[in-house]
Amino acid sequence: MWRWVRQQLGFDPPHQSDTRTIYIANRFPQNGLYTPQKFIDNRIISSKLMIDTPTSPITSGLPLFFVITVTAIKQGYEDWLRHNSDNEVNGAPVYVVRSGGLVKTRSKNIRVGDIVRIAKDEIFPADLVLLSSDRPDGSCHVTTASLDGETNLKTHVAVPETAVLQTVANLDTLIAVIECQQPEADLYRFMGRMIITQQMEEIVRPLGPESLLLRGARLKNTKEIFGVAIYTGMETKMALNYKSKSQKRSAVEKSMNTFLIIYLIILISEAILSTILKYTWQAEGKWDEPWYNQKTEHQRNSSKILRFISDFLAFLVLYNFIIPISLYVTVEMQKFLGSFFIGWDLDLYHEESDQKAQVNTSDLNEELGQVEYVFTDKTGTLTENEMQFRECSINGIKYQEINGRLVPEGPTPDSSEGNLSYLSSLSHLNNLSHLTTSSFGTSPDYEIELVKEHDLFFKAVSLCHTVQISNVQTDGIGDGPWQSNLTSSHLEYYASSPDEKALVEAAARLGIVFIGSSEETMEVKTLGKLERYKLLHILEFDSNRRRMGVIVQAPSGEKILFAKGAESSILPRCIGGEIEKTRIHVDEFALKGLRTLCVAYRQFTPKEYEVIDRRLFEARTALQQREEKLAEVFQFIEKDLILLGATAVEDRLQDKVRETIEALRMAGIKVWVLTGDKHETAVSVSLSCGHFHRTMNILELTNQKSDSQCAEQLRQLARRITEDHVIQHGLVVDGTSLSLALREHEKLFMEVCRNCSAVLCCRMAPLQKAKVIRLIKISPEKPITLAVGDGANDVSMIQEAHVGIGIMGKEGRQAARNSDYAIARFKFLSKLLFVHGHFYYIRIATLVQYFFYKNVCFITPQFLYQFYCLFSQQTLYDSVYLTLYNICFTSLPILIYSLLEQHIDPHILQSKPTLYRDISKNCHLSIKTFLYWTLLGFSHAFIFFYGSYFLLGKDISLLGNGQMFGNWTFGTLVFTVMVITVNVKMALETHFWTWINHLVTWGSIIFYFVFSLFYGGILWPFLSSQNMYFVFIQLLSSGSAWFAIILMVVTCLFLDIVKKVFDRQLHPTSTEKAQLTEANSSVKCLDSVCCFSGETVCASVGRMLERVVGRCSPAHISRSWSASDPFYTNDRSILTLSTMDSSTC
């Protein structure tokens, strides 16, 4: 009983085992020890029921109901879409083997242990272990584009004992058990084993990722397969990789919470002060119990403490509107609706790949305008990730490929044949007349050896990979395994790594053509002759070893290991070959910005291979610590290598990378490049892309071996930065030195980094990238960071940064799926930050400040009114006005402003990155700005209340019948002035006017008048009391009231206008200067009064009024931009709702 209670509370989870056992076809043991899985079916549950409600005090039912309803509708709609998507997936038809036959059922009914049949082009409904396919070797091809974006075909294989079970009848006789790890989210990691019982004997076979078919992947090139379900429903790897709503919080949200606390303090202070003043006032008997309001006996005998608390709470309820309850729902709507503009922006659309920008979370829109550090990957982010084979080094001789011919270093294609010799392709090497002794100065024996070296080098390149052949060539091969009459021109290769594809294609162009592979063989054509190699083992690539290898049996019977990888992981393990020459060549390749790989081999004796085969089998069948055991065996195998040479492929820069990085630097953003490439390659690319420039002083922190050495080097760098009078410094750090620097010298390292304009970190592991970003985030300045990357190795830094940007590139979709925003090219980052980020920040900053301002205007007169009603908690406004003020009368203008406002032309924002500095450090939500808006609200509230009081409070001739205004008329007058002033104030803040702005701004004021006339002009039968009956009509019938309204509105706004004009005259910001330049150069009518400098106030007001009444609209604006303007000269932004030239917005 106690265990059950602990399990229900989550203290004692029922399943503590690291592994699980699956009985194929659900043939459970008879001893009753089987424990069912947590999720018994294959149902996917992505919907949720949650309503986020504000934490401010609840004082009015309808505003609260409005806030909850809007939030519930938004989240309910998203939940409904998820629910429909779930039903579509869960209800998909599948065929399951049960009772010796195929049974059609729904996907959600699949149970762990069921044998499922999947046909060609169908999607796997659960995580399956492959049992058999229609191919004799039990292999199949799948594409995982929906999981990781990789479009290449991946080969999966079944164990030999089940591969022959190709019919339902045969599968029904299978008796086997699978033991595997518990579910985990890693798509590429799986460990298990299958225990098959045949003729009373148990056969154990290892299971790895090559046997696992993931839910969401699609079957290709295979008629049908059978697989056993091991993970279903929410335990599948796809479900475990579902991305929940980002928990990142923007700086604006943090500021907003701080302001709410301040206003909560103001609310409590006003309530306490009112309560104290009430009891102070009532200390006199005539006010405590006047003759017209005698207390009851119960009131006289009640506790004074309880009465004080009760009055305090009553004042809290009376003043609670100073806390803007609807602010949260308005901000949420603004973020949700505003995020669509990013996806609609045609300038962020990439036509070649047909990809538009994606928004995975709208909570961080304004954070795009606050970025201070950009951390970027190199490969696929700054570069195209389209590899082209350029050069190679074979046995110490450097070659380059020119027009499909392999040329030694030095000669050019137009050189005479008398002086130079070309290695046009390996097929030509068969004719030794192409290699004269004058070319290399050696004997024919050397020439034969040279051919063998080239042959072995490109055979290693053609065999050591995981490349697949396209569907067109592999369909119908059937008996094969492969057709031997295919030529390289007919083959189309698919690879998860673009490097591998480039190398295999280069080898095919030069005469050694990879034809295809099956589970046990790999075929290549060498000089037109087909050779078949038996594939014995694949030593998979991993980021720790930084190399991969294959063990094959040559046609002659020799067992050979071919290995390739980074020079730092291959060269130290070599004992033969031209190691030093190759090292020099690799460094030269890297200086050109080329990506390098070293190629080596090792030949095994029969005894050596027997030991290797046994150790590999033991490691691959281990259930515990399999990865560690495999790594140990790989280290044992990959030693004593003979170096063959090195390859160099080019990954060219993306379009406008240099301009984008320069623009980021002009905007005051520091750019760090974090890459796994070697030092020379990374520095070369940094120079070519403008991250480093030639005049920059490059400092290096590399090859540090100890903490003391690293600390001394950091101190020397700090001194150099202080002593050198160079404007800009750049820093290069490698992974090992960074580990030492972060271990004990974080502060010193950060001091050096902060004084550098650009930092390059090379040889970085994925977790190191995240650690660097974390270090910057927690620094004393607490800057806003942005990380951008395109591969799975960038996910950790994307999730660590304040804002994560995924590039939808060629290394899969993991970065894009785990990012906050996804774009197709690095160059789009400039518009995303300088235009969208700038606009989003200005809009939401104004929204937050304006909400607090209008609520101060709203509730302060209520507080002042208590001084004239003996703090009796009498309301100044009618209850309907209290309810509708934030819902109807003042909500739409600020919402539309926060969606459409463009205080400056988007083209100017992008062509002048320095304007980005004007909004840095959250300046529009600083304490100074907050106090200005708050004091502005208090001053306007005082004018509303005391202006009404002194102008009309004691006038007895307001109405024609001599009747005086009552308290409801007085409150309505204050409320009318307030509604007009608050809406016109929003109009003054608006720079970009559309018909929607006009409709909601002036429509809100008109709606207030129309509503008040109907509300106060009719006796509504469903209202118990109607204090406002005929009040508004009487108010509007008074000329004095109209004069007072106009006078108070003008007085409130005039002071604000004067302040803005003088600020722009005396202390204009760069943005305001740009507005002025835009206005003077091409805009015939101005956006607002604040755009005018150098004119009289009257002229400015006149132009502002001209704009307000609609005589100036965006359609009248004509701007011209030269074709030489940087970035987007033909701007097709969807931001502008008005009709303009294509070059305008």
| Stretch (H or E) spanning 224 | strand 224-231
Write the DSSP assignment of 977-1030 as a string of letters.
HHHHHHHHHHHHH--S--HHHHHHHHHHHHHHHHHHHHHHHS--TT-S--TTTT
SS (H, E, C) 1104-1126: HHHHHCCCCCHHHCCCCCCCCCC
| Start-end of H helices in 372-517 | 437-440, 444-463, 471-474, 498-509
Q: Are strands 641-653 and 670-674 parallel, antiparallel or unpaired?
A: unpaired
How many contiguous H segments (helices) and E segments (strands) does the chain have? Answer: 40, 35
Report which DSSP code applies to 245. Answer: P
Say how far apart CA 662 and CA 763 lie, in whole Å: 24
CA dist 186 → 147, 765, 813, 835 (Å): 11, 17, 14, 37
Tokens linked to 434? 């192409």
Say how far apart CA 564 and CA 250 lie, in whole Å: 45
- Buried-exposed string 308-336: b where 16+ CB fall within 10 A, e elsewhere: eeebbebbbebbbbbbbbbbbbbbbbbbe
Q: What is the pLDDT of residue 792?
A: 65
Q: What is the pLDDT of residue 861?
A: 92
Say how far apart CA 133 and CA 157 lie, in whole Å: 9
Write the DSSP assignment of 288-314 as a string of letters.
HS-TTSPPPHHHHHS-HHHHHHHHHHH
Q: What is the pLDDT of residue 33?
A: 46
Torsion angle of C-alpha atoms 90, 93, 98, 100, degrees rounded to 10: -170
Q: Do residues 788 and 375 touch, judged by C-beta distance below 8 A? A: yes
CA angle, 863 as apex, 860 and 864 as ends, to 5°?
90
Q: What is the pTM of this model?
A: 0.67
Q: What is the pLDDT of residue 846?
A: 92
| Start-end of H helices in 594-678 | 606-620, 626-637, 657-666
Say how far apart CA 299 and CA 414 lie, in whole Å: 111
Extended beta strands in 476-612, E state: 493-494, 512-517, 521-526, 529-542, 547-553, 559-565, 574-576, 594-604
Q: What is the pLDDT of residue 767?
A: 75
Say how far apart CA 382 and CA 795 lie, in whole Å: 16
Say how far apart CA 872 and CA 451 lie, in whole Å: 105
Q: What is the pLDDT of residue 55?
A: 30
Say how far apart CA 820 and CA 798 lie, in whole Å: 8
Say how far apart CA 181 and CA 624 lie, in whole Å: 9
Q: Are strands 93-98 and 101-106 parallel, antiparallel or unpaired?
A: antiparallel
Tokens linked to 166? 């190709």
Q: Do residues 325 and 67 touch, judged by C-beta distance below 8 A? A: yes
Report which DSSP code applies to 123. Answer: B
pLDDT along the chain (1145 residues), means of 10: 50 53 62 48 44 35 67 68 71 86 87 89 89 85 65 78 86 87 80 86 86 86 88 81 59 85 90 86 65 63 76 82 82 86 88 84 85 86 79 90 78 39 42 34 50 82 80 38 42 73 86 79 83 87 78 89 88 89 88 84 90 88 80 89 90 83 90 80 78 81 82 86 79 85 82 86 80 86 89 78 83 70 89 92 92 91 87 82 85 92 88 87 87 92 89 60 69 91 92 91 93 79 66 80 90 87 82 74 39 42 43 39 37 34 34
Q: Are strands 521-526 and 529-542 parallel, antiparallel or unpaired?
A: antiparallel
Give the active site residues: 377
CA dist 823 → 271, 375, 909 (Å): 51, 15, 20
Provide the residue count of the chain.
Answer: 1145
Q: What is the pLDDT of residue 449?
A: 58
Distance of CA 693 to the CA centre of its chain: 29
Nearest to 147 by CA among 218, 74, 219, 228: 218
Nearest to 920 by CA among 662, 669, 660: 669
Q: Are strands 670-674 and 574-576 parallel, antiparallel or unpaired?
A: unpaired
